[in-house]
Structure 1
Amino acid sequence: MTPEMVTDLGFQTFKAAIMLAGPMLAGGLIIGIGVSIFQAVTSIQDMTLTFVPKIIVVMLILLFCFPWMLNIMESFSREIFLKFPLMAQ
């Protein structure tokens, strides 16, 4: 296994991880900022108010993006298994 293959494998893994986690993290971030602004404006300091909307949004994003995420995981796994004979040399 050459250093270029290791670098390429690391890059592909990092890219897949960002593509899989990105939509949920972005949704949680946007909702978190919105809820924080709402709490600052209304002076409500309830901690459960921040978690419940984030959990709901992340679950909805996961529900709607799951087929796309499954496709990314499947293509990444297929690519790794096809490259395995070259990596084992």
Structure 2
Amino acid sequence: MMTIDLASDIVSRGIYLILIVCAVAIIPSLLIGLCVSIFQAVTQINEQTLSFLPRLVMTLVVLIIGGKWMLLKLSDFTIEMFHQAAQYVG
């Protein structure tokens, strides 16, 4: 039977998973952005493509390398929810 505690547990596990998956993609991009910003401040070069392109490349590299792991984590959670759906509802 579905209870408030069970529903909040499902939601919290889902939010935690989404945060982990997003952090894997966003944190390297933020670090590269910080490094480029420091470089721009030191050299006083204010080119917009200089800050955008490295972050884009880093995000693509992380998605290529970690994309399979992200997809597996999300699909495992989804499959687990479908397997337990009968217990939760019935």
* TM-score bracket for this pair, using the shorter chain length: over 0.9
Q: Deviations over 1:52-77 (max 9, x none)?
A: 11010000000000111121012101
- Deviation of the 1:33 alpha carbon: 0.3
- Deviation of the 1:86 alpha carbon: 2.4
> How many percent identity over aligned positions?
29
- What CA distance in whole angstroms lies between the structure 2 residues aligned with 1:87 and 1:44? 58
CA-atom RMSD in angstroms: 1.1
Aligned to 2:55: 54
Structure 1 segment 49-88 matched on structure 2, within 5 A: 49-88=50-89
> How many aligned positions are there?
89
Q: TM-score, normalised by structure 1?
A: 0.92
Query: AA paired with 1:82?
Result: H
Q: SS at 2:33's partner residue?
A: helix
Q: TM-score, normalised by structure 2?
A: 0.91
